[in-house]
């Protein structure tokens, strides 16, 4: 709490936080059959162990996707899957739709 108080009382207007994936999350996400599908990519970005555990109609926005994660996902999809989506489309993607996109890519 002392560190947080110091930060809040300082004149600094920019701060950063980093979320490191634990080894267990990485191994679970990397265990996808082809090792590089859209579901695996989104799993890595969101830091979830297994998106398959969620309901197929769950939207990414419901899984804690904020604006920074949306942009990271957008860039990964454009780079790895040559698919251009708006940030709103990405936030509204469901797990079911992600699976469909992965199947079309393969």
pLDDT in tens, 58-71: 999 998 899 999 99
Give 94's strand partners.
59
Is residue 4 in some structural domain? no
Supply the DSSP symbol for 30: H
Listed residue (9, 83, 23) closest to 98, CA to CA: 83
pTM: 0.62
Is residue 5 in some structural domain? no
Q: What angle do CA 73, 19, 70 make, to 5 degrees?
A: 20
pLDDT in tens, 18-28: 655 555 544 44
Averaged pLDDT for residues 96-102: 87
CATH code, 73: 1.10.1200.10
Give 59's strand partners.
94
- Structural domain count, the chain: 1
Is residue 13 in some structural domain? no
First to last CA, the chain: 49
Is residue 70 in some structural domain? yes
Q: Which domain holds residue 23?
A: 19-105
């Amino acid at each position: 709490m002392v560190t947080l108080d110091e930060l809040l009382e300082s004149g600094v207007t920019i701060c950063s936080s980093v979320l490191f994936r634990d080894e267990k999350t990485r191994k679970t996400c990397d265990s996808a059959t082809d090792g590089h599908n859209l579901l695996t990519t989104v799993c890595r970005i969101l830091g979830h162990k297994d998106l398959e555990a969620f309901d197929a109609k769950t939207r990414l926005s419901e899984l804690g996707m904020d604006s920074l994660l949306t942009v990271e996902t957008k860039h990964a999809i454009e780079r790895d899957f040559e698919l251009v989506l708006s940030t709103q489309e990405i936030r509204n993607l469901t797990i079911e739709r992600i699976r469909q996109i992965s199947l079309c890519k393969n």
